Structure 1
Amino acid sequence: MRERIKHLRGDSFFDENLNIFLNRELESFTTTQHTHDFVEISYVGEGCGYHYLEDQVIPIKQGDLFVIPIGTSHVYRPSSPKQDKTLVIYNCIFRVELLNDWKHLLQNDSYTYNIIYEPSQCSERWLHFQDKHDTFSTMIQSMYTEYLKRNVGFETLLIAMVVQMLVLLQRFELKNEAEPATFSKLDEVVHFIKFNYTQNITVQHVADYFYLSASHFQRLFKKTTGLTFTQYLQNVRIQKCCELLKSTDIPIYQIANQVGYLDMKFFHALFRKKTGITPRQYRQNFQEFEDKATSY
C-alpha cells in the first residue's frame, strides 16, 4: 500500500503499516462529492440524511449499508444543516488487492463479487442493503473497537470480518434471487408508480414499500420490464405530460411541476430525449393535427 494515503473526508489517513482503515464520521454539508481508489464499506450508525451516489440521491437512515467500489462518486449529507440533525457513518476502507486471496469464497457471478472485483459490469455502481435485523450493526462496531484498540492480530481479525460481511451480503442476495425470475409483484409496483409518480419517489422508497433491498428490487424490475426504475418512472411522467399537453391549455411549467419535475432545464432536456421535440412543439403539432382533422 502507498505511504500515507489521504482519506477523502479530510484529515484521516491510512496508517502506512496497515492495509485496512476504519473511522466513525459525523457527516456535514462541507464535504464535496468525490471518488476514491479504494473499496469502502459504510454503515449508517445514527441519524438520517441523504447519500449522493453518481447522479442519484438516496434517502438513508440507521441500518443502511453501502459497498462503494473504486471510481464511484459519492458523498453523505445529513437531512438538515442544523446541528440537531446528525448523521453518523462508520467507514471501513481497504485496497481491493487485500481480498485477492479470498476471491474463491464468493460466487463470481454474484452482484456482491462484481461490485468488489468487476464494478464496471454492474448496472448500479454500488451495493445497498438495509440491515433490518441488525445483522451488521454489531459487526461494524466490533470492527471499529478492534481497530481502535489494536491488540495483537487485530488486522487479521478485521480482514476476516470484512470477508464475513461480504459472504453474508452474498447470502442475502442469493436468498432473494431464489424467487421466481419474473417479478411476481410487478402489477402492484406499476400501480404504486402510477399512483405516486407526481411525488419525489425513489428506488429506495419503492423497495422499502415492498420489503426488498434496493439493489435486488432494481435487478428484478429490470429483468421483468427491460427498463430501470428511473427509466420506467420517466416514461410514465412524460406520457402524462403528453396527455396534458394535448388535452389542456395548462402552461408547460405547471404541467412539468404536476408530474414531479421542478427543474425546467432537466424537464425540457428529458422531454426532447424521449419524444424528439420540445413540449411546445408537441402541443403545436397536436393542435395543427386537430385543426386539419376538423377542417375535413
Structure 2
Amino acid sequence: MQNDIVKCGLREQNNNQFVDTIEKEAYVWCEKDWKHDEQEHAHQRAQLTFVEEGYQYFHIDKKIYLVPRHHVIWIPSGKPHRITSEAKTVSLMVFLFKNVFNDDFYRNVHVFAVPPVLKEMILYASKWNQLVKEDEEQDLFFKAILKSLPNFCRENSPLEIPVPSDIRLIPVCTSINSNFKYSLNADELAEKARMSVRSLQRIFKNETGITLQKYLQLVRILKSIELIDTGRYTLSEIAYQVGYQSLSAFTASYQSVMKTKPKVKRIT
C-alpha cells in the first residue's frame, strides 16, 4: 500500500489533488528546511507563502513567479502550482485559508515584498505553527492578516517570467536564458523564431506582455538573486556574471525590479 503524502497538513487524495480534514478556518505551517518534490499540485485552500530564507520559483498558469526572501505569494484556492528552488536552504511559513473575502484580489496570484508591519504580523503568527485546534486569538489574528493583504499589495510585483504559448518563441526564450550575460541580438533571435525582427518584437510583446529587453532584464535579476543567495560573491562580481558592465548599472536595474537595493548575503 502506498504511503499517504501529507503537505502542510493536507493529504494527497489522487492525481496530486490534496484534501484536508482540518476544520479550522485558517492555520499556519512553518518549516526551516523546506523539501521540494517539484510536482504540480492543487488544493481547495487559498495559500499565502512567506519566504523567510532562500527563494522559490512558483510555476503557475504558464508563468514563473520568483518569491525571494521576505516576499510573499498569494495563490487562490484550486490553482495548480509547482515549486522549484536551487537555494541551499529554504525556510517558509505557509498560511492556508478555507474562505476568503469577496474581493478581486483573492482571485488572482500576487507576489510582493513584505512591508515591516506585515512581516511582524507574520512572524508573530509562527507561535501557532501547525496548531489545528480552535484558538480565538489565532482566528481573529489570521483574519486580520487576510483582510489587510489587498492594502499591503499596492501593485503586482514584476517578479514573474511569462512563458509564451507560441512555440516559435520557445527557442527565443531558451536562447535568452542561456545567454543572459550578453546583449540581445535581435537578428539572431528573429532567425531562431523564423520571422522578421519586427514580427518577433510584436508577437513576443503580445504573448508575454513585456519586451525582449525587459525579459532579458528579468532573467538577469532573477539569476543575480540566486547568486546573492550563495553568499560567495561580491555585488560587483555578481553584476559582471549576469551581464552588467558596472555595479551602478546593475544596482539601478535591480532596484527598478525589486524596489530595493541589492545586498550581499552574509554567511554566518
TM-score (norm 1): 0.45
Question: Higher strand fraction: Structure 1 or Structure 2?
Answer: 2
Report 1 or 2 for greater relative contact order, CA contacts < 8 Å, sequence distance ≥ 6.
Answer: 2
TM-score (norm 2): 0.49
